[in-house]
Amino acid sequence: MTQPKRPAAPRGFSTRAIQAATRTPRVDQRPNAVPIYQAVTFSADDAAELGAITTGAMPGYSYARLANPTGDTLAAAIAELEGAEAGCVFSSGMAAIHAALMSVLQSGDRVVATRAIYGSTRVLLVNRFGRLGVQVDFVDATDLAAVDRALAGSPTRVLYVETISNPTIVVVDVAALAALAHRHGALLIVDNTFASPVLCRPIEVGADLAIESLTKYLGGHSDTLGGSVAGSRERIAEVKAIEIDTGATLAPFAAFLILRGIATLAIRMARHAETARRLAEWLSTQEGVARVFHPDLVSHPQHEVAARQFPHASGMLAFELAGSPVAARAAGGAFIDALTIPERTASLGSIHTIVAHPPTTTHRQYDEAQLAEAGIGAGLLRCSVGLEDADDLIADFAQALDAARAAAAAADASDAARTTERPASVGAG
């Protein structure tokens, strides 16, 4: 039992200043926003209590790398949104992907991953986990027979997919893939970032772990980094251990900003989706646009899967500019440079519309063969549709397409001129 403290003797100015500046107020009323617990250390009543909290023998807080109240509130909110027993939050989406994989993989294990995958995730799997003795094979995750053969070919620990792929907007059947994975003794890990829990909750249809880049739709304002993993209590305990051991802790202010974003997530997603649908329909009728990828279009290869799996599409679309590789690449750069509303930046899921050229941004690590294998053409543009007015975006895209067509024509003319040039004749000696 803690002994009552003796009355303090008069203390010096520095001692009084430190104690006065860190004395927490008593608040009997419940705040309407989760407080930012911007503290690294938390005090216990005695040494025994501190030890019990630090070792996990009793709930509480001691050191922010282990746990922080603002972060824990966000983790609980993520679990509820995902329909999972528990959640864990991280300093970035890539930190969440790393921890989810690290929590279940060891040397000698095998991963079967979707061919349509985020560039940094592929690098993490092949270059980092591969170096540790993990075998990684890629498959078209929309071809269930091919996935079945891949899983049957060799014992597999993880089937890894993206609900909606980055950047080609490929949609997978999460429930069917969960059944296949479990039939072959594998775990299904799903990156759900492009869909968000508004559109899809992978855990509810059989996935073992669901990952979100909280930087994207859940945060929603391009002002904070974060990531999350959701799943069963047992699996998240293993994921949490990786977070603690690697120090990939989410800062409390970032957790506060993401909680603020979650409050308006459903409303924002509906607006993102409606504007993206309008923009995709318009783009599909435009000269110089070879293909448009958006699940609401009947031309999308997985339109029926998306219609069955999602209440509506997300705000993500992609489109391929027409022309030879040289012309299409030139057109892509001209299109982006001509835009006046979208931000010329990376990332997605923001209030701002963002148009990116995947071969030089999100999938910059890929060589030409890997780009072709992933279905990423020279003129592919990925568009994260923001919350601006649809008519304004369509008008801006129209004038950018004019610039793209002009750039493609100029590139074709330049390429034709080079191919018709003949070397100077060499005189006989």
pLDDT in tens, the chain (429 residues): 456 566 667 889 999 998 999 899 999 999 999 999 999 999 999 999 999 999 989 999 999 999 999 999 999 999 999 999 999 999 999 999 999 999 999 999 999 999 999 999 999 999 999 999 999 999 999 999 999 999 999 999 999 999 999 899 999 999 999 999 999 999 999 999 999 999 999 999 999 999 999 999 999 999 999 999 999 999 999 999 999 999 999 999 999 999 999 999 999 999 999 999 999 999 999 999 999 999 999 999 999 999 999 999 999 999 999 999 889 989 999 999 999 999 889 899 999 999 998 877 766 677 777 777 777 888 899 999 999 999 999 999 999 999 999 999 998 787 666 766 655 444 333
96 in a structural domain: yes
Structure tokens belonging to residue 128: 């980092």
Output the CA torsion sign for 319, 322, 325, 326: negative
Q: Which of 239, 262, 285 is the last residue of a domain?
A: 262
37 in a structural domain: no
Domain count, the chain: 2
Helix (H, G, I), strand (E, B) or coil at 90: strand
189 in a structural domain: yes
424 in a structural domain: no
Q: 258 with 271, same domain? A: no
Q: 280 with 257, same domain? A: no
Catalytic residue among 115, 216, 268, 277: 216
Could you give the CA distance from residue 279 to residue 292 in angstroms, rounded to a whole number?
A: 10
Look at residue 420 in the predicted model and tell me its pLDDT.
Answer: 66
Q: 165 with 277, same domain? A: no
Q: 216 with 145, same domain? A: yes
Q: Could you list the residue range(s) of the whole structural domain that residue 84 is in?
A: 49-262
Q: 355 with 226, same domain? A: no
Q: 211 with 323, same domain? A: no
Q: 245 with 279, same domain? A: no
Output the CA torsion sign for 368, 371, 373, 377: negative
56 in a structural domain: yes
Q: Which of 262, 287, 317 is the last residue of a domain?
A: 262
412 among known catalytic residues: no
Structure tokens belonging to residue 196: 């968000």
Look at residue 4 in the predicted model and tell me its pLDDT.
Answer: 59
191 among known catalytic residues: yes
239 in a structural domain: yes
Look at residue 346 in the predicted model and tell me its pLDDT.
Answer: 86
4 in a structural domain: no
Q: 250 with 286, same domain? A: no
17 in a structural domain: no
65 among known catalytic residues: yes
Q: Which of 262, 289, 321 is the last residue of a domain?
A: 262
Q: 294 with 246, same domain? A: no
Look at residue 7 in the predicted model and tell me its pLDDT.
Answer: 61
Q: What is the CATH number of the domain that holds 292?
A: 3.90.1150.10
Q: 217 with 161, same domain? A: yes
Look at residue 414 in the predicted model and tell me its pLDDT.
Answer: 77
Catalytic residue among 63, 65, 140, 148: 65
Q: 253 with 311, same domain? A: no
pTM of the model: 0.91
Catalytic residue among 72, 109, 173, 191: 191
Q: What is the CATH number of the domain that holds 142?
A: 3.40.640.10
Look at residue 368 in the predicted model and tell me its pLDDT.
Answer: 74
- At residue 228, what are phi and psi to the nearest 5 degrees? -150, 155
Cβ(316)–Cβ(310) below 8 Å = no
Could you give the CA distance from residue 215 to residue 250 in angstroms, rounded to a whole number?
A: 11
Catalytic residue among 37, 61, 118, 160: 118
Q: 309 with 269, same domain? A: yes
**Please, which residues have CB within 8 angstroms of residue 407's CB and are 6 or more apart in sequence?**
327, 330, 331, 333, 334, 335
Structure tokens belonging to residue 212: 């979100």
Q: Which helix (H) or strand (E) holds 291?
A: strand 289-293
